[in-house]
Structure 1
Amino acid sequence: MSDPAPSTGTDNSPITLDRFSQILDKLYEAALNAEGWEDCLEHIRDELHGNYVSLIVRTVTAEDAGLIVSVSKDRRTLEQYTPNLNVSPFTGVQPDRLVTTADVISDAEWRASDYYRDWCAPHGVYHVMAADIGTREGEVYGFRVTRSEDEPPFSAADKDLGRRLIPHIKRALNLHLAMHQDRKVLSLYSRAMAQLLVGVVVLDRDCNVIESNQAAQSILDKHDGLRIAGNQLEATYANDNRKLQRMIKDALHHDGTQQKVGLTEALSVGRPSGQLAWGVVVQSISPDEWTEGKQRPAVAVFVRDSESKSQPPVKLAQQLFQLTPAETMLAIQLANGMSLEEAAEALNIRRNTARAHLRSIFSKTGVRRQMELVRIFLNSVAWLGTKD
């Protein structure tokens, strides 16, 4: 037999399954989008008849301004800075345990505390229901529901509802953290690919473009050998385009479930500008049994701009090779394909000065030839520090 639905609020009316489902719906929406937390907390505040409901994401420290997501009955904004939060009677409570003021402190001690006098009383906070929620990543989030002294204390049914919500809030926070971490990692991958001048275009099963990174967009914006037409990737020259479309179709028909790796093919795509051809690699993306529909990623097209000249941060290159600023600027020009004479002219220095810098660079890097210098410079992590 299932447990009876807990009653909530001052009228002791039981929460309906529909209302509980609405809270959970808002909660898991918030897990996907951080902007949804306020709406979720508002639903909880309304159900528990609180004057505030807050989620303490980070407490204030000397290095961090902290973050508190809160909603209130009268729509007032709760200030981020909460003095004496470290001396709150709810700090240090066992994770995932729901408590009320009466569970952790006597009424006299509560009224005499700095935390109540300096922060709670001015905000009309007297009754508090609280839990510190621990996540898989070791983070601890504070969940607080409050009422004024004029309102009744939280009932057994209120606390029952709170306890039922805690596991869901915990799962939503874990989901939010996992997704946020994945997005951060994907963002770092995308930035690294862009800084290495590798464009990535992702196609679905109908060959439509569903995503492209910054480097790819920069290449496509040139309209120089590759373009997007009708939401599909095409090469300018007919012969190149036939080969590209054939490679994409082969990748689409490749059954990635039968082999551990997808089909990969390469192509050189000519550019009307006469500049060095684009290097293009087409790779199939193995199907994901959990992902259906036409928008499923099916093919990845990688495009490399071999001729583009990048500028790594001078300071970072200096740190890596212990060069002077002048030596670093010369090394960057050489790595971008200039001769020593061309680099001297571009930097507006004399050829003898450039030769002296080059001898010093050879001595510091341990190389003996200019080609070796270019190789170690291009293979260094300095290029990953390129600003967007």
Structure 2
Amino acid sequence: MARTLSLETFSEMLGNLYQGPLENIPWATFLNQLNLYLDSKYVTFILRPPSAQVEGLMVTTNGTSAEVVEGIASYNKYFFTLDPFVGLPNRQVVTLEEFVSKDDWLNSEFYKSFLEPGDVFHILGADINTCDGAQCRIRISRGRASPAFSSEDKALLTQFIPHLERSIKIHMQLNRIETERNLYAGAVDQLAVGTIILDETGKVLQTNQVADRLIQDKDGLKLVNDGLQVGTARDTQEFRRLVKQALLSQKSNNPSVVEALRVQRPSGRADLGIIVRSVPLSAWSEGKQCPAVVIFISDPEQQSSAPQEIVRALFDFTPAETQLAMLLANGLTLDEASEELGISRNTARAHLRSTFSKTGVTRQTMLVRLILRSVATLG
């Protein structure tokens, strides 16, 4: 029997429900509270039902125990096709008894093989199918010796269903944003461009892999107390001026300011190229630690990381032509490339002429530019 929820408890559970998309295990806190107040054995939330093509994605109370993990794996692999408690009326809370007769349930292979060994008998549930394609299910179970779910239990779960649907939509939007962010961040990494994001105080919020490597090298770029130092003392002074200018531009809602700076490296290696750019605020941006300035860094000595198989497929090169083209793209001369490959200069020139023919360029510099500007670097 569900307990009567006080306004304070309902408010707390509702808060945890909307906090769910931000938890490491989404909705874990809310599901555990629901499990407690419905005096149930398990509460399972199926965010993505399994199919023959993909595994399901679900969260369950006590979800880290070996027994539960094994049960989820078994359901995803074998038993989802046997589950009769699916296809419920959208957003409507129903009990198993309303959906499947007791005799059919007891004689079903799903119950006998999957649920009875774990003493799951009574089930309360709802399906939530959103307008943007999510097909979610919440299932609450009790053992055979426990009382069946009551109308009060149904009413309690019903109160949360509209909020759960909204929380699912928030989760989906956050997931899309995170996926897009990772996609673009990965593309920037592949282009060998360092990115450093600063907050409104000029402190470092985030760096990508390329920037991390440059910072670790401490060769023209250093992180000191969450702030950046670049090149010489004079370089750092100019860099801070550009950052300050970009911050002022952002706070005054002026068009994005873009400034460039060349930074000397103590090692004598080629100078780093730095772009400082203000990040436009959205109309409703608020709070601390928002991206305010982005720093783009190019390292002339960073070699192209384009996969050879991608270059070969894009330009219909032979393996030998691909190897030569990549060495040239990474700054070697034709003589240096032929020596690296262990071939004669005449053979290298023959390969180079063939690449010219296949790409339509007439000079080595044009070939290098073509490869470096192609989508191969995103492979």
- Is the shorter-chain TM-score for this pair beyond 0.5, marking a shared fold? yes
Deviates more, 1:320-329 or 1:197-206: 197-206
Deviates more, 1:149-158 or 1:101-110: 101-110
For residues 377 and 298 of structure 1, what CA distance do their matches in structure 2 show? 33
Aligned-residue RMSD, C-alpha: 2.2
How far the C-alpha of 1:103 sits from its partner, in A, is 1.8
Deviates more, 1:31-40 or 1:217-226: 31-40
Query: What code does the residue aligned with 2:268 have?
Result: G
Matches within 5 A, 1:170-319: 170-255=165-250, 258-259=253-254, 261-288=255-282, 290-319=284-313
TM-score (norm 2): 0.91
How far the C-alpha of 1:290 sits from its partner, in A, is 4.2
Query: What code does the residue aligned with 1:349 have?
Result: I
Which residue of 67, 91, 94 maps to 1:96?
91
For residues 94 and 285 of structure 1, what CA distance do their matches in structure 2 show? 46
Query: What code does the residue aligned with 2:354 have?
Result: S
The equivalent of 1:369 in structure 2 is 363
How far the C-alpha of 1:180 sits from its partner, in A, is 1.7
* CA contact 2:250–2:279 (8 Å) conserved in 1: no
Higher helix content, 1 or 2: 2
For residues 377 and 289 of structure 1, what CA distance do their matches in structure 2 show? 40
For residues 194 and 67 of structure 1, what CA distance do their matches in structure 2 show? 30
For residues 63 and 180 of structure 2, what CA distance do their matches in structure 1 show? 38
The equivalent of 1:4 in structure 2 is none
CA change 1:211–1:255 in 2 (3 A) is closer
The equivalent of 2:314 in structure 1 is 320
Cα deviation per residue 1:12-35 (whole Å; 9 max; x = unaligned)? Answer: x41222222232233223211242
TM-score (norm 1): 0.89
Query: What code does the residue aligned with 1:54 have?
Result: T
1:77 aligns with 2:68: yes
* CA contact 1:311–1:332 (8 Å) conserved in 2: no
For residues 124 and 176 of structure 1, what CA distance do their matches in structure 2 show? 32
Query: What code does the residue aligned with 1:100 have?
Result: T
The equivalent of 2:41 in structure 1 is 51
CA change 1:43–1:204 in 2 (3 A) is same
Cα deviation per residue 1:105-163 (whole Å; 9 max; x = unaligned)? Answer: 22222222222222222221221111111234302112100112212211111101111
The equivalent of 1:21 in structure 2 is 11
How far the C-alpha of 1:289 sits from its partner, in A, is 5.6
Deviates more, 1:344-353 or 1:323-332: 344-353
For residues 305 and 206 of structure 2, what CA distance do their matches in structure 1 show? 26
How many residues are aligned here?
374
SS in 2 for 1:128: strand
CA change 1:161–1:30 in 2 (3 A) is same
For residues 63 and 325 of structure 1, what CA distance do their matches in structure 2 show? 36
SS in 2 for 1:276: coil
For residues 39 and 114 of structure 1, what CA distance do their matches in structure 2 show? 32
Which residue of 142, 154, 170 maps to 2:149?
154
The equivalent of 2:32 in structure 1 is 42
Cα deviation per residue 1:201-247 (whole Å; 9 max; x = unaligned)? Answer: 12222221122111111122222222222321122312222221111
How far the C-alpha of 1:294 sits from its partner, in A, is 4.4
* CA contact 2:253–2:280 (8 Å) conserved in 1: no
1:130 aligns with 2:125: yes
* CA contact 1:50–1:73 (8 Å) conserved in 2: no
Percent of matched pairs sharing the same residue: 38
CA change 1:255–1:207 in 2 (3 A) is closer
SS in 2 for 1:282: strand
Deviates more, 1:323-332 or 1:365-374: 365-374
Which residue of 342, 345, 348 maps to 1:348?
342
Which residue of 369, 372, 378 maps to 1:378?
372
For residues 28 and 315 of structure 1, what CA distance do their matches in structure 2 show? 46
* CA contact 1:257–1:286 (8 Å) conserved in 2: no
For residues 248 and 169 of structure 1, what CA distance do their matches in structure 2 show? 43
SS in 2 for 1:245: helix
For residues 281 and 371 of structure 2, what CA distance do their matches in structure 1 show? 38
Cα deviation per residue 1:237-270 (whole Å; 9 max; x = unaligned)? Answer: 12222221111111111256544x3111111112
For residues 265 and 72 of structure 1, what CA distance do their matches in structure 2 show? 53
Cα deviation per residue 1:324-367 (whole Å; 9 max; x = unaligned)? Answer: 22111110011112111111112222212212211221222222
1:335 aligns with 2:302: no
How far the C-alpha of 1:274 sits from its partner, in A, is 2.2
For residues 45 and 287 of structure 2, what CA distance do their matches in structure 1 show? 37
* CA contact 2:304–2:329 (8 Å) conserved in 1: no
* CA contact 1:202–1:211 (8 Å) conserved in 2: yes
For residues 197 and 73 of structure 1, what CA distance do their matches in structure 2 show? 40
